[in-house]
Amino acid sequence: METVEINLEEQFQARIDADIRIEPKDWMPDAYRKTLIRQISQHAHSELVGMLPEGNWITRAPSLKRKSILLSKVQDEAGHGLYLYSAAETLGASRDQMLADLHSGKAKYSSIFNYPTLSWADMGTVGWLVDGAAILNQVPLCRTSYGPYARAMVRVCKEESFHQRQGFEIMQTLCEGAPEQKAMAQEALNRWWWPTLMMFGPKDADSPNTEQSMKWRIKRFTNDELRQKFVDMMVPQAEFLGLTVPDPALKWNETKQGYDFGEVNWEEFWNVVKGNGMCNKDRLGARVKAHEEGAWVREAALAHAKKRAAKAETQAA
């Protein structure tokens, strides 16, 4: 009899094709594990760094209501980071290592958070556009092949729609207000529109890993597909607000039942990814500072827990 070599990799792919979730202790190819750790931790880093541009406005929110809402939103983003770090840890990544990689600049996070938040209208635009783009990216991931990641994304998605709505409400209030307020909203849209389109990543032709990721179902739509969906979704909302999308090439295309739109400035995109955006240094600096200044708290809490555990042991003896 011939020995049958069981091809683990084929079995693995067959499970994914049958939409059977992969769980932490199941066998998986090394490349799947590595790619997922990178993707999930990058996503977690984005949630964490994403708190900074909005945290910038908490003390200057125009009313107590807006301040409470913004605080809650930022707190949610911290939670999203935690859900995702936990999911990455089920794959064997360590929390300390992931944070060290973020702080050393080795790991990436979404380029969008390297843009400054200059006016209160930016809080509206970020919630409406940036969280809107995040939702489009995240909803398909609720069905991703890796169980803990999919479950984390279900939680995240439940919380995101509040983020987008509060942003839209800020925009609507500004657009229905004084001409100066509306101008402020338009100015914010002008600055955020293109960077938001970059959130979906490079063009499909420049995204060589997409095919493998789609096969593994850790990505369910291509970058260009999501970007198109986003434009089609947002243009009518901008029209409702009476705002102009800053793209002269934007035009409804009857045949494809979607909008044609201009080319993203890819040079700017790669520049920001490489660390040369307006706020890269600020953002990382703020992260590292918070981490270092919190070190003594983490150490003290651990020492205290150890001492109490030792005391409980001697009392029991």
Question: Which stretches of the chain bind Fe ion, using CB under 5 A?
Answer: 47, 77, 80, 131, 160, 163
Q: Does 103 bind other proteins (CB under 8 A)?
A: no
Nearest CA among 154, 131, 134 for reference residue 226: 134
Q: Count other Cβ atoms within 10 Å, centred on residue 36.
A: 25
Q: Does 89 bind other proteins (CB under 8 A)?
A: yes
Q: In this complex, which beta carbon is closest to Fe ion, that of residue 15 or of residue 155?
A: 155
Distances (CA, A) of 160 to 25, 186, 246, 280, 308: 30, 24, 25, 25, 40
Q: Does 101 bind other proteins (CB under 8 A)?
A: no
Angle at 126 between CA 123 and CA 129, to 5 degrees: 140
Sole binder of other proteins in the list 54, 76, 122, 247 (CB under 8 A) = 76
Q: In this complex, which beta carbon is closest to Fe ion, that of residue 103 or of residue 165?
A: 165
Smallest distance from other proteins to CB 218, Å: 19
Q: Does 79 bind other proteins (CB under 8 A)?
A: yes
How many residues touch other proteins (CB under 8 A)? 30
Q: In this complex, which beta carbon is closest to other proteins, that of residue 31 or of residue 312?
A: 312
Per CB under 8 A, contacts with other proteins among 140-169 are 151-152, 155, 159
Q: Does 96 bind other proteins (CB under 8 A)?
A: yes
Q: In this complex, which beta carbon is closest to Fe ion, that of residue 162 or of residue 270?
A: 162
Sole binder of other proteins in the list 292, 302, 310, 311 (CB under 8 A) = 302
Smallest distance from other proteins to CB 6, Å: 12
Q: Does 2 bind other proteins (CB under 8 A)?
A: no
Smallest distance from other proteins to CB 118, Å: 29
Q: Which does 276 bind (CB under 5 to 8 A by kind): other proteins, Fe ion, none?
A: none
Q: Which does 163 bind (CB under 5 to 8 A by kind): Fe ion, other proteins, none?
A: Fe ion
Q: Does 75 bind other proteins (CB under 8 A)?
A: yes
* Cα distance between residue 291 and residue 99, in whole Å: 9
Q: Which does 131 bind (CB under 5 to 8 A by kind): Fe ion, other proteins, none?
A: Fe ion
Contact footprint for other proteins (CB under 8 A): 23, 25-27, 72, 75-76, 79, 82-83, 86, 89-90, 94-97, 151-152, 155, 159, 295, 298-299, 301-302, 304-305, 308-309
